[in-house]
Structure 1
């Protein structure tokens, strides 16, 4: 089951010509991932403050297809494609007005904020992630 949300492309996210500035996309994606984890019952305040778990990005492969423009409503779809002991593989599709703007493959890893080493996903988070797990034929 894919996670979906919408974000506006604001003036500050664009270059002087009104086209999305690509680093802004990554900042917005980070906020989308924060919202996704909140729906899992694992918001950042809990993960970082209470559980002392980080979720850094290990790999991110982005393909830009069409430009985004100031005022676009960005439609984010995140699909869980794999869950390892400590890793999480996601596929993202971002569109506006029915056009795919960019796609990304991302691998996050659960880490201890005390040791900065990977750690296994806690059982409750793993169960919530598993609920979202899709196979390529599910798309």
Structure 2
């Protein structure tokens, strides 16, 4: 009987793990303005740290944005969450790519909104994903 219980526990753990990791990935979103294209892709929205891949491309200016200071996620109550870190290309150049990390938002909002404020642009770029 003890072997059967172990098997059931392992099967339950596997099923829960598979369900948690089998959610469809959220699509990349991009915008182009003032000669700069920014693509944002949610990479990991599980656990205590959420990760987003950002790709910035231009042929007309220097990409010296401080992404940790200029990007926020919005909570359901309208308050903002700032990134806890950036791992990727340093400021400068015409092409940048990396991962921006945030503390997870709890409770998880139905709609996840990211805002990127860029110097010289009149309003923030907004990216939205439906989570539920």
Q: Settle same-fold status: TM greater than 0.5.
A: no
The structure with the larger Rg is 2
Higher helix share: 1
Higher strand share: 2
State the TM-score, normalizing by the size of structure 1.
0.30
